[in-house]
Amino acid sequence: MQNSNIEKTMASYELDKLDEKILKLIIGDARKPFLEVARVCNVSGAAIHQRVQKLIHTGVIRGSEFMLDYRMVGYKTCAYMGLFLQEPGQFTSIVEALKDIPEVVECYYTTGKYDLFIKIYARDNEHLLKVIHDRLQPLGLARTETLISLKEGFRRHLPIDFNRENSKEKKVK
C-alpha cells in the first residue's frame, strides 16, 4: 500500500467504542492476549483479531514494541538537540543521515527556533560528545543546541477517546 493511501485512510478513520476499548486495553500491554481483551469487551477472540488487523491496516496501530529503560542497559545520558540547517534543501539528506546514527532515536521537523529536533541516548556525556563531534558535525549543520535531560518526569500515551470529545464539540456548535 502506498503512503498516500495510508494517509488518506488515516485521516478519515474514526474510532468506534469497541476500537477505543480494545486500544485502551492493549496500549499499555501489547502482549495482552486477544482472548483476555475479548472477554473484557464481550466479543469473540476472532472479532478482536479482525479489529486489530483493521486498525493495523488503516494505520491507527503502527506496530507494537517493548519499551526499554535505557539507563538499565548502559545509556545514562538522554539529550535533546535542536538542529539548525545551513539551507532548507538539506532536510531530506540530513534526516536520512540521522537514520544511520543509532543513538538518535527520534527526529522531528519543527516550527520555531529549530529546523529539526532530535532525541539522543548515549552511554555518558563523553559518548554524547563523541556522537556530536564524529557523527553530527560532519553533516554540515549550521549549528546545534543541546539540552541534557536530568530525569524523565513521565511518559504516557495520548488518551484514546480524544476523537469522541472532538466529535461532541463539533455537534454542539
pLDDT of residue 64: 85
Whole-number average pLDDT of the chain: 87
Handedness of CA 127, 129, 132, 133 (dihedral sign): negative
pLDDT (tens digit per residue) in 3-17: 444 444 445 678 899
Mean pLDDT value of segment 129-149: 96
Of the candidates 84, 92, 82, the one whose C-alpha atom is nearest the C-alpha of residue 140 is 84
Domains of the chain: 3-65 (1.10.10.10), 70-149 (3.30.70.920)
Q: Does the pLDDT of residue 109 top 70, yes or no?
A: yes
pLDDT band at residue 163 under the 50/70/90 scheme: low
DSSP 87-125: SGGGHHHHHHHHHT-TTEEEEEE-SSS-SEEEEEEESSH
If DSSP codes are grouped into helix, strand and coil, which group holds residue 151? Answer: coil
Q: Can you tell me the distance from the alpha carbon of 116 to that of 144, in angstroms, rounded to the nearest whole number? A: 10
pLDDT (tens digit per residue) in 57-98: 999 999 888 888 899 999 999 999 999 999 988 999 999 999
